[in-house]
Amino acid sequence: MSSEMGRNLMRVLLNDIMNAHSSITLRLHASDSRADFYRDGVDVALRAMKKGVAQDLNLYGFKICNIPHVVCASPSYLKLNGEPCVPSDLSEHNALLYKLYEVVHADWEFYDNTQQYKVKMNSDRAVNDGDMVRRWCIDGAGIAKKSAIDVADDLLSGKLKRIIPNYKVPLTEMWLVLPSRQFISPAIRLIRDELKSKIMALRASLLAKHILSEDEWPCDD
């Protein structure tokens, strides 16, 4: 799983499961670089993918949820730099960028009811760790495009504020994937069910605070 998911949501979830089920043991590979099932001896992986990729790759596994993304910043950053209202305003702000395999994700895509937008972001920093992007954002170093799951607690607490909410970021999907059906076990099913439950609770809290709408975070399966 990614470093960010491992440090935060999954660390707590796995602690709870292992405290309740003492027979479960764990060997965790937490990295933003994608592990190879066979080379790295991985039984199951938690992966975020573009919509439809899991079916195209014929992967075994379970879809956990859709993943909405938000653009966000700290109140201190917005007080100092002003708040962007439309995608074109973003080019005037400092972006906190994520990079993977030396590819910096500086092109941000949005859409509304009428058209799509692509903005080339300006930035003074990029990092290959999603949690560092989140922490920089809380520090007031710039604006970030993040999974709503990863910043849910920060949005709910007010550490971060969602910006340009009228423009959507394309959804991705979270999957629990395995190299073979033979690897599906009661422990894997337990992790799947607990993870779905945790994420649906975060979703409900974000909807209740009107930070996201049901349309932006569809719960279709």
pLDDT given at position 63 = 92
The answer to the question of residue 40 being in a domain is yes
The answer to the question of residue 89 being in a domain is yes
The answer to the question of residue 221 being in a domain is no
CA distances from 205 to 63, 93, 98, 202 (A): 21, 29, 26, 5
User: Residue 84 sits in which domain range?
Assistant: 69-163
pLDDT given at position 58 = 65
User: Is 21 in the same domain as 47?
Assistant: yes
pTM, to two decimals: 0.91
The answer to the question of residue 111 being in a domain is yes
pLDDT given at position 10 = 93
User: Is 54 in the same domain as 36?
Assistant: yes
pLDDT given at position 100 = 82
User: Is 183 in the same domain as 149?
Assistant: no
pLDDT given at position 56 = 63
The answer to the question of residue 123 being in a domain is yes
The domain tally of the chain equals 2
Do the beta carbons of residue 206 and residue 152 sit within 8 Å? yes
pLDDT given at position 31 = 84
Query: Residue 105 sits in a domain of what CATH number?
Result: 3.40.190.290
Q: Does residue 220 sit in helix, strand or coil?
A: coil
User: Is 155 in the same domain as 183?
Assistant: no
- What is the number of alpha carbons within 13 Å of residue 128 lying toward its C-beta? 9
Burial of 22 from C-beta contacts in 10 A (0-12 / 13-18 / 19+): exposed
Query: Residue 39 sits in a domain of what CATH number?
Result: 3.40.190.10
User: Is 101 in the same domain as 147?
Assistant: yes
pLDDT given at position 154 = 97
The answer to the question of residue 220 being in a domain is no
The answer to the question of residue 113 being in a domain is yes
pLDDT given at position 57 = 65
Among 110, 144, 163, where does a domain finish?
A: 163
User: Is 51 in the same domain as 102?
Assistant: no
User: Is 75 in the same domain as 105?
Assistant: yes
Residue-by-residue pLDDT tens, the chain, 221 positions: 898 999 999 999 999 999 999 999 999 988 887 777 778 888 899 988 887 776 666 678 899 999 999 999 999 999 999 999 999 999 999 999 998 877 888 999 999 988 999 999 999 999 999 999 999 999 999 999 999 999 999 999 999 999 999 999 999 999 999 888 888 899 999 999 999 999 999 999 999 999 999 999 998 65
User: Is 91 in the same domain as 62?
Assistant: no
User: Is 92 in the same domain as 110?
Assistant: yes
The answer to the question of residue 217 being in a domain is no
Question: CA 148, CA 219: separation in Å to the nearest integer?
Answer: 14
